[in-house]
Amino acid sequence: MKKLYVGNLPYTTTDDQLRDYFAPIGMVVSAKVIIDKMTGRSKGFGFVEMENDAEADKAIADMNGKDMDGRNLVVNEARPMEPRNNDRRGSY
């Protein structure tokens, strides 16, 4: 499995819509739109997990820059989340 970052999503996109949008490329293992905990609204990006590397590479090639409801998607291989620096001394 390979996880893809999908950015510049329309704010109305649901998990199911994201899954359906990538389904013609290959087997979508999971699709998740990231939601802001405070507002309950989409943050405009999400993640799609494809079954294998070949399908993930095809998804990047076919979907990066593709229009979705008037927005050009940004699709690339997801990078591991870096630990946040919670050291806030001296900041306001």
DSSP letters spanning 44-57? EEEEEEESSHHHHH
pLDDT of residue 22: 98
pLDDT for the residue 87: 60
> With a cut of 50, which residues of the chain have pLDDT below it?
none
Residues 6+ apart with CB under 8 A from 29: 1, 49, 50, 51
Q: What's phi and psi for 7, nearest 5 deg?
A: -110, 170
The CATH code that applies to domain 2-77 is: 3.30.70.330
Supply the pTM of this predicted model: 0.86
Task: Report the alpha-carbon angle 29-15-32, nearest 5.
Answer: 60
The residues spanned by each domain of the chain are 2-77
pLDDT value of residue 81: 76
Cα–Cα distance for residue pair 5/73, rounded to 1 Å: 10
Give the pLDDT score at 53: 97
